[in-house]
């Protein structure tokens, strides 16, 4: 009885804020688009008894047109590259923070989080100003006799923006894990004749793999659905799922197709999540 | 030549002086116990020898060679950690092989050396297990052979028995010493447990606030403690303080003490008196080396009782009463006496 009471709040939370919205999205995905507010006909009706009025048309569209498949693949690739770049940059940062004097650690962590204090859109605006044809970056390149290059609306700008936005999500779990690590293991390795590099390769790195996996996931999952950064900085031809979904929802007002896209994204993200969870447990 | 010589070693952590000009020597094949309370600097000494800390002053010589500037991985010194520090992601075999692999030894030879080492402590069957699948005693033995498999001439052990439960500790300690005798390496063992140090070590170095209080064979330290600290730390001796009178008899409160070798009149002295050297007497106490008191408290210790006897001036004497005799009732008046040889003059 008491266990039930303790479990009730999180259970209610999950039902209300996770399960119910998912169910609604699922229902909308099987509805037919139609005029009205909201712009779809509910898949279940009532005419003397329950009636199925749904349609699998949206799912069919999704599976039938390569446009959507390409958007998914490009999104996963973009998220993967972003997460990999963030991990590569975050690991040395986290190692440095964990190795710093105790009085320096908190200020260094705050510096990592500092960009969050400025709004997200102003920061992207700053990137646009830096990268546009007549911007600072091209100005400096021009002094060196290079350019002007097309930096904005390129993959370079896309990844600059993505890494800039998601890097703190990778630094935090890594720094926490590296701070908590048992230093006597590294001392034991050194005592047994391992050089500092070998200590890192054979002890520090393998033991931090679970944290690295969670850092990767924390970037990968939100990055896969990102639409603002690709929209503002990325190449126009690169249609990512986030942008496609936005377009279907707000421009085409095709809610069933948008809901189907969201569900498909969820299904696509499940395997990597499970894979990384297993990787984390093994480490 | 000494296997390890420590000369004037000092180390400061912020405001705390962990080691204060320590001098110490270890002979080849010797088992030395570093005994001291927490903060006495005993672990700091190990970490300085292993190379994890740098001394502020002084030298560390291994077989005459100054270790200054050598990083830990270049020092031919083994260390066993209190937490064992076994690599959780590696099997028992790979843990033990770790040090040999760093020497780029051939795989076949590594395999043979690791199997030999594991056989030495009866763990051949555990080679494939991970550390978390072992019992505490098994982990302790893996940590021991891992630090020994490179055959260091000097092994540093930081509280190697502290994490074991009491039943296992004594036997494992004896096995540890048997192993040390067999391989002939010099052992420096840090411990806060005086019984462990007395039982296992060839010599004991007692550290107090970063300085060497006394160093010598266990029996010498126990029977002839040099300082109050050593007398109290080893076996909880009574320490009596007083002044030597004109007749050469020292007066410490109500006690008149006739020292075995006499004393210069007028000298101020502190002497140690072991609880187990004090006897209960019938009748009145003798004029010297005896005192009357009231039994205040009694604690049963299995092999006898520890009695707290209040003297007329309010000080207390610890007296060990043997088992097999019914102890007196608390509150009863007792006459105590001890032989002159039981009194050991302390220098500080």
**Which segments of A15-56 does DSSP mark as H helices, in order?**
20-29
- Residues 159-198 (A) with a CB less than 8 A from some CB of B: 182, 184-185, 187-196, 198
Decide if B87 touches A, using CB distance below 8 A. Answer: yes
Q: How far apart are CA B36 and CA B210, in angstroms?
A: 9
CA distance A241 to chain B (A): 39
Q: Is the pLDDT of residue A190 over 90?
A: yes
Per the listing, tokens 């044809």 go with: A133
Average pLDDT in the B89-107 region? Answer: 96
B330 or A280, which is more confident: B330
- Letter string b/e over residues B174-197, b meaning 16 or more CB atoms within 10 A of that residue's CB: eebbebbeeeebbbbbbbbbbebb
Q: Tell me, what DSSP letter sits at residue A100?
A: S
- Interface contact B79-A191, CB threshold 8 A: yes
Which residues from chain B sit within 8 angstroms of residue A182, using beta carbons? 83, 85
Q: Is the pLDDT of residue A278 over 80?
A: no
Which residues, other chains included, contact A92 with Cβ-Cβ below 8 Å and sequence gap of 6+? none
For A191, which of B72, B87, B89 is closest by C-beta distance? B72
Q: Is the pLDDT of residue B322 over 60?
A: yes
Average pLDDT in the A2-27 region? Answer: 91
Which residues from chain B sit within 8 angstroms of residue A203, using beta carbons? 87
Decide if A97 touches B, using CB distance below 8 A. Answer: no
B98 or A58, which is more confident: B98
- Letter string b/e over residues A179-207, b meaning 16 or more CB atoms within 10 A of that residue's CB: eeeeebbbbbbbbbbbeeebbbebbbeeb
What pLDDT digit, counting tens, does each position of A15-42 carry?
A: 999 999 999 999 999 988 888 888 888 8
What pLDDT digit, counting tens, does each position of A70-113 carry?
A: 999 999 999 999 999 999 999 999 999 999 999 999 999 999 98
At residue A263, the 3 state secondary structure works out as: helix
Which residues from chain B sit within 8 angstroms of residue A194, using beta carbons? 73, 98, 102
Lowest-pLDDT range, A88-102, A191-205, B300-314? B300-314
Q: How far apart are CA B272 and CA B237, in angstroms?
A: 6
Q: How far apart are CA B307 and CA B328, in angstroms?
A: 10
CATH superfamily of B236-346: Nucleic acid-binding proteins (2.40.50.140)
The pair of structure tokens assigned to B291 is 């005192």
The pLDDT of residue A283 is 47
- Interface contact B87-A184, CB threshold 8 A: no
Q: How far apart are CA A116 and CA B321, in angstroms?
A: 73
Name the pLDDT band for B149 (thresholds 50, 70, 90). very high
Which residues from chain B sit within 8 angstroms of residue A281, using beta carbons? none
Q: How far apart are CA B82 and CA B80, in angstroms?
A: 7
The pLDDT of residue A12 is 93
CA distance B165 to chain A (A): 22
Q: Which of A163, A157, A159 is nearest to A90 (CA)?
A: A163
For B73, which of A195, A202, A207 is closest by C-beta distance? A195
Average pLDDT in the B309-333 region? Answer: 88
Name the pLDDT band for A280 (thresholds 50, 70, 90). low
Decide if B13 touches A, using CB distance below 8 A. Answer: no
Decide if B102 touches A, using CB distance below 8 A. Answer: yes
Average pLDDT in the A185-201 region? Answer: 96
Q: Which residue in chain B has the smallest CA separation from A209?
A: B89
The mean predicted confidence, pLDDT, of chain B is 92
Q: Where in chain B is the domain with CATH 3.40.50.300?
A: 4-225
For A192, which of B83, B89, B99 is closest by C-beta distance? B99
Q: Which residue in chain A has the smallest CA separation from B49?
A: A191
Cross-strand pairs, B336:
B280, B291
For B85, which of A185, A195, A199 is closest by C-beta distance? A185
What value of ipTM does the predicted structure carry?
A: 0.86
Find out whether B206 and B234 touch, Cβ atoms under 8 Å. Answer: yes
What pLDDT digit, counting tens, does each position of B269-285 carry?
A: 899 999 999 998 888 88
At residue A44, the 3 state secondary structure works out as: strand
The pair of structure tokens assigned to A259 is 């809901």
Decide if A203 touches B, using CB distance below 8 A. Answer: yes
At the top level of CATH, the class of B4-225 is alpha beta
B14 or A278, which is more confident: B14
The pLDDT of residue A282 is 55
Domains of chain A: 65-251 (1.10.3720.10)
Q: Which of A15, A45, A8 is nearest to A30 (CA)?
A: A45
Q: What percent of chain B has pLDDT over 90?
A: 70
Which residues from chain A sit within 8 angstroms of residue B46, using beta carbons? none
CA distance B157 to chain A (A): 12
Q: Which of B233, B318, B312, B315 is nearest to B274 (CA)?
A: B318
- Residues 48-67 (B) with a CB less than 8 A from some CB of A: 50-52
CA torsion through residues B79, B84, B89, B92, sign:
positive
Q: Where in chain B is the domain with CATH 2.40.50.140?
A: 236-346
Indicate the burial class of A23 (C-beta count within 10 angstroms; 0-12, 13-18, 19 or more): exposed
In this structure, the number of other CB atoms found within 10 A of the CB of residue B88 comes to 15
């Amino acid at each position: 009885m008491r266990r039930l009471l303790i479990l009730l709040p999180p259970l209610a939370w999950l039902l209300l804020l996770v399960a119910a919205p998912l169910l609604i999205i699922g229902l909308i995905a099987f509805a037919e688009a139609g005029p009205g507010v909201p712009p779809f006909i509910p898949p279940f009706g009532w005419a003397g008894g329950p009636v199925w009025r749904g349609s699998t048309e949206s799912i069919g569209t999704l599976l039938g047109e390569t446009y959507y498949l390409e958007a998914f693949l490009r999104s996963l690739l973009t998220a993967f590259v972003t997460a990999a770049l963030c991990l590569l940059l975050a690991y040395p940062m986290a190692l440095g923070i964990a190795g710093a004097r105790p009085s320096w650690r908190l200020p260094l962590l705050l510096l990592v989080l500092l960009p969050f204090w400025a709004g997200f859109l102003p920061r992207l605006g700053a990137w646009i100003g830096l990268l546009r044809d007549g911007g600072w970056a091209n100005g400096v390149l021009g002094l060196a006799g290079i350019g002007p290059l097309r930096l904005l609306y390129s993959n370079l700008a896309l990844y600059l923006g993505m890494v800039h936005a998601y890097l703190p999500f990778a630094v935090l779990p890594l720094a926490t894990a590296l701070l908590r690590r048992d230093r006597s293991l590294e001392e034991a390795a050194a005592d047994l004749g391992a050089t500092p590099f070998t200590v890192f390769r054979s002890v520090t790195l393998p033991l931090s793999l679970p944290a690295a996996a969670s850092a990767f996931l924390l970037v990968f999952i939100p990055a896969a659905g990102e639409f603002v950064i690709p929209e503002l900085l990325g190449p126009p031809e690169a249609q990512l799922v986030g942008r496609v979904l936005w377009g279907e929802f707000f421009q085409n007002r095709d809610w069933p197709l948008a809901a189907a896209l969201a569900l498909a994204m969820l299904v696509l993200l499940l395997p990597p999540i499970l894979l990384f969870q297993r990787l984390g447990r093994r480490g | 030549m000494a296997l390890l010589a420590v000369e004037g070693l000092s180390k400061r952590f912020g405001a705390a002086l962990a080691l204060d000009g320590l001098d110490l020597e270890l002979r080849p094949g010797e088992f030395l116990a570093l005994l001291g309370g927490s903060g006495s600097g005993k672990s700091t000494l190990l970490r300085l020898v292993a190379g994890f800390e740098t001394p502020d002053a002084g030298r560390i010589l291994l077989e005459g060679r100054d270790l200054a500037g050598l990083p830990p991985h270049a020092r031919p010194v083994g260390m066993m950690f209190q937490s064992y520090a076994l690599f959780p992601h590696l099997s028992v075999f790979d843990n033990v092989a770790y040090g040999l692999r760093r020497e780029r030894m051939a795989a076949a030879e590594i395999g043979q050396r690791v199997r030999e080492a594991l056989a030495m402590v009866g763990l051949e069957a555990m080679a494939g297990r991970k550390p978390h699948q072992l019992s505490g005693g098994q982990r302790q033995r893996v940590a021991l052979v891992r630090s020994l498999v490179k055959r260091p001439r000097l092994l540093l052990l930081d509280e190697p028995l502290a994490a074991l439960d009491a039943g296992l500790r004594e036997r494992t300690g004896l096995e540890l010493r048997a192993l040390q005798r067999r391989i002939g390496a010099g052992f420096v063992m840090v411990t806060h447990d005086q019984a462990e140090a007395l039982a296992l070590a060839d010599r004991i170095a007692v550290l107090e606030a970063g300085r060497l209080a006394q160093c010598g064979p266990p029996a010498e330290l126990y029977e002839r403690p040099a300082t109050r600290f050593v007398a109290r730390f080893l076996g909880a001796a009574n320490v009596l303080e007083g002044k030597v009178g004109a007749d050469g008899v020292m007066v410490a409160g109500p006690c008149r003490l006739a020292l075995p070798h006499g004393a210069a009149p007028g000298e101020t002295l502190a002497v140690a008196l072991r609880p187990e050297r004090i006897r209960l007497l019938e009748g009145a106490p003798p004029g010297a080396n005896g005192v009357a008191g009231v039994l205040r408290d009694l604690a049963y210790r299995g092999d006898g009782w520890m009695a707290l006897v209040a003297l007329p001036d309010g000080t207390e004497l610890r007296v060990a009463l043997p088992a097999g005799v019914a102890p007196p009732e608390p509150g009863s008046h007792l006459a105590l006496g001890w032989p002159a040889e039981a009194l050991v003059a302390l220098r500080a």
